[in-house]
Each structure stands twice: as structure tokens, then as C-alpha cells.
């Protein structure tokens, strides 16, 4: 896999084959193009980080900081190795946290401008639990957005606390761009 744009453009990173399903390059390019192409000065959270493809893409595109959260020990170790291999003075800060992504939201206490979430497609109630955790713990800034990747088929359940800004399918992948409704944040 490689990073598609920014300071780290065309740099390759390792993916543990049997454990993760990294976001395809074409889908990452479409996601970040829809967000304006840059992540300058953003504080980014990559939940269910896996290979770190989404977070590293934001990092390469100018994010001030990226926090990667991944639970699986082998995958987390690979993620941390990838991130450390790319560190340089031109890039923002990073943290690689080994934890359950949804449970970690309740312990964090910080806010992010951009949250990227790409859980395993078969994780039960991942969408509902992630949306609830972000909303309940005020993890997203008032102008922030959540990019959520899931399987393209099947029904989805989104609470009234969220507004869907974009809903796009890319083959077997569906990408939602969501924002908290302002009246729900108070």
C-alpha cells in the first residue's frame, strides 16, 4: 500500500495481510478530495486504525496531529512501526494507542476536527456504538466531521444527533461523512 498525496506521497507502508482490510487508494483519494484535499492544521483521530492508511493520509496532507487507536496487538505493532518510519520535522505529531476504539472514546477527553473510522465490517453494532461514543463524550469539535467506512450493502442506523453530509458507495465500500447536529451538542 502507498500514501496517495502530500509530504509522504508514494511512500509505501506495510499491511498485516490476514488481520486488516486497508482502505483502497482510490477510496482514500476520493475521501480526502471530498474534504478539500488538505488537512492543514487539523487534529485528527483514526479509530480502528488497522494499517493506519486513513490517518497517515491525513498526516501526509498536513494534519497538526494524528492519534491512531487500534486494539489488535499484532496490527498495533505494525501500525506503530509504519508511523515511526515516516516521522520527520515536516509532519505533525502522532500517537499510537493500543485500545478498544469505542471504549477509548470515554477515556480520551480531547476533541478532534476530523475523525476517521474504519472498523472491521463484521464488528457488531460498530456504527451505532461509534456514533454514540463520539456524541456522548464530545470528541468531535463543533465544526468537525466524521468519515465512517463500512460495507456497502445492508441497512444502517444513524441517530438524530447526526447529519449525513455525504453517503457514497465505491464497489463493496460505503463512506459516510457525518457531522453532529448543533442542537444535539449542548
- Output 108 or 97, whichever has higher pLDDT: 97
Q: What backbone phi and psi angles, to 5 degrees, belong to 146?
A: -110, 130
Instruction: Look at residue 85 in the predicted model and tell me its pLDDT.
Output: 94
Query: Do 177 and 164 contact (CB within 8 A), yes or no?
Result: yes
Q: What pLDDT digit, counting tens, does each position of 46-78 carry? A: 999 999 999 999 999 999 999 999 999 999 999
Provide the mean pLDDT of the chain: 92
How many angstroms separate the Cα of 163 from the Cα of each of 21, 27, 66, 184? 27, 21, 24, 11
- Output 124 or 161, whichever has higher pLDDT: 161
**Which of the four pLDDT bands, split at 50, 70 and 90, describes residue 183?**
low
What is the set of domains in the chain, with CATH numbers?
25-185 (3.40.50.150)
Global pTM value: 0.93
Amino acid at each position: 500500500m502507498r500514501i496517495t498525496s502530500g509530504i509522504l506521497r508514494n511512500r509505501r507502508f506495510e499491511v498485516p495481510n490476514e488481520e486488516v482490510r486497508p482502505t483502497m487508494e482510490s477510496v482514500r483519494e476520493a475521501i480526502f478530495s471530498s474534504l478539500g484535499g488538505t488537512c492543514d492544521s487539523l487534529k485528527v483521530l483514526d479509530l480502528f486504525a488497522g494499517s493506519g492508511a486513513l490517518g497517515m493520509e491525513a498526516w501526509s496532507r498536513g494534519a497538526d496531529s494524528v492519534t491512531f487507536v487500534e486494539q489488535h496487538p499484532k496490527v498495533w505493532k505494525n501500525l506503530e512501526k509504519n508511523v515511526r518510519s515516516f516521522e520527520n520535522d515536516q509532519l505533525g505529531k502522532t500517537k499510537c494507542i493500543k485500545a478498544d476504539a469505542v471504549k477509548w472514546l470515554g477515556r480520551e477527553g480531547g476533541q478532534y476536527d476530523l475523525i476517521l473510522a474504519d472498523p472491521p465490517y463484521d464488528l457488531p453494532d460498530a456504527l451505532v456504538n461509534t456514533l454514540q461514543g463520539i456524541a456522548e463524550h464530545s470528541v468531535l469539535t463543533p465544526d468537525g466531521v466524521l468519515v465512517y467506512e463500512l460495507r456497502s450493502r445492508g441497512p444502517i442506523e444513524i441517530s438524530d444527533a447526526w447529519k449525513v453530509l455525504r453517503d457514497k458507495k465505491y464497489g463493496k465500500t460505503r463512506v459516510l461523512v457525518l457531522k453532529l447536529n448543533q442542537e444535539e451538542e449542548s
